[in-house]
Amino acid sequence: MKDLVYLNYAATSYKKFPATIEALTAYLAENQFMNYGRNAPLLREGLPLLETRQLLADFFQAPSAAQITFTNNATTSLNLALAGILQPGDHVITTMLEHHAVARPLHLLEKERGISVTYVACQKTGLLDVEDIQRAWRTNTKALVMTHASNVLGTILPIEECFQWAHQKGLLTVLDTAQTAGFLPIKMTQMAIDVLAFTGHKSLYGLAGIGGLAFSERGAEAVKPLITGGTGSHSNSFDQPSFLPDKFEAGTLNSLGILSLNSSVKELNKIGLAAIQKHERTLMQNFFNGLSGLPVTILGTKDVAQTVPVVSITLWNQEETVVAQQLAEQYGIMTRAGLHCAPLAHETAGTLATGTLRFSFGWQTTPEEITWTIHALQELLI
Give percent of the chain above pLDDT 70. Answer: 96
* Residue 166, CA distances (Å) to 141, 160, 230 in order: 10, 10, 35
Domain ranges of the chain: 5-16+272-381, 18-270
Q: Is the pLDDT of residue 201 over 90?
A: yes
For the domain spanning 18-270, the CATH number is 3.40.640.10
**Contact yes or no for 257/37 (Cβ under 8 A):** no
- Where does the pLDDT of residue 41 fall: very low under 50, low under 70, confident under 90, or very high at 90 and above? very low
Task: Quote the strand ranges of 193-344, DSSP E.
Answer: 195-199, 211-215, 296-298, 310-315, 333-334, 336-338
Question: Is residue 206 pLDDT above 60, yes or no?
Answer: yes
Q: Is the pLDDT of residue 39 over 50?
A: no
Mean pLDDT of 298-323: 99
Q: Which superfamily is assigned to 5-16+272-381 in CATH?
A: Aspartate Aminotransferase, domain 1 (3.90.1150.10)
Cis peptide before 185 (omega within 30 of 0): no
Mean pLDDT of 5-20: 98
What pLDDT, on the 0 to 100 scale, is given for residue 2? 65
